[in-house]
Amino acid sequence: MSSSSPRPLRVAVIGLGPIGNLHARLYQEDDLAELVGVCDLLPDRASAATERFGVPAFPDVPTMLSALSPDVCSVATGGYEYSSDHYEPTIQALEAGCHVLCEKPICNELQPA
């Protein structure tokens, strides 16, 4: 039996509001995870997260996924009230081969869900 620890999961966080920042902080504190990057459409949130967590920030999901190839993505983008939802970044991450933890709701309309 091997006594080595499993490789930490490479995790990226999409959406850097209060919930996304909480996800990022908790991943950074967990020995089973390695926070490798963050993404937000708002440049001030992205740069603040880079400073806070010491990882690269990206302005869009496809660029981040291509650059980092994370194992897991947390999707914590703003909800309908912020003209956003979780559907598009979740699908982008899944199509890139990531496992996804998605905040609710998955989307703002029934048809895509």
In tens, the pLDDT along 13-69 reads 999 999 999 999 999 999 999 999 999 999 999 999 999 999 999 999 999 999 999
Task: Please check whether residue 52 lies inside any domain of the structure.
Answer: yes
Task: Please check whether residue 1 lies inside any domain of the structure.
Answer: no
pLDDT at position 79 is: 62
pLDDT at position 80 is: 57
The number of distinct structural domains making up the chain is 1
List the CATH number of the domain containing 28.
Answer: 3.40.50.720
Task: Please check whether residue 108 lies inside any domain of the structure.
Answer: no
Domain of residue 56, residue span: 9-102
pTM: 0.89
5: pLDDT confidence band, cut at 50, 70 and 90? confident
**Which own/partner pairs from 24-31 qualify as long-range (CB within 8 Å, at least 24 positions apart)?**
24/49, 24/52, 24/53, 24/74, 25/53, 27/74, 28/53, 31/5
Task: Please check whether residue 110 lies inside any domain of the structure.
Answer: no
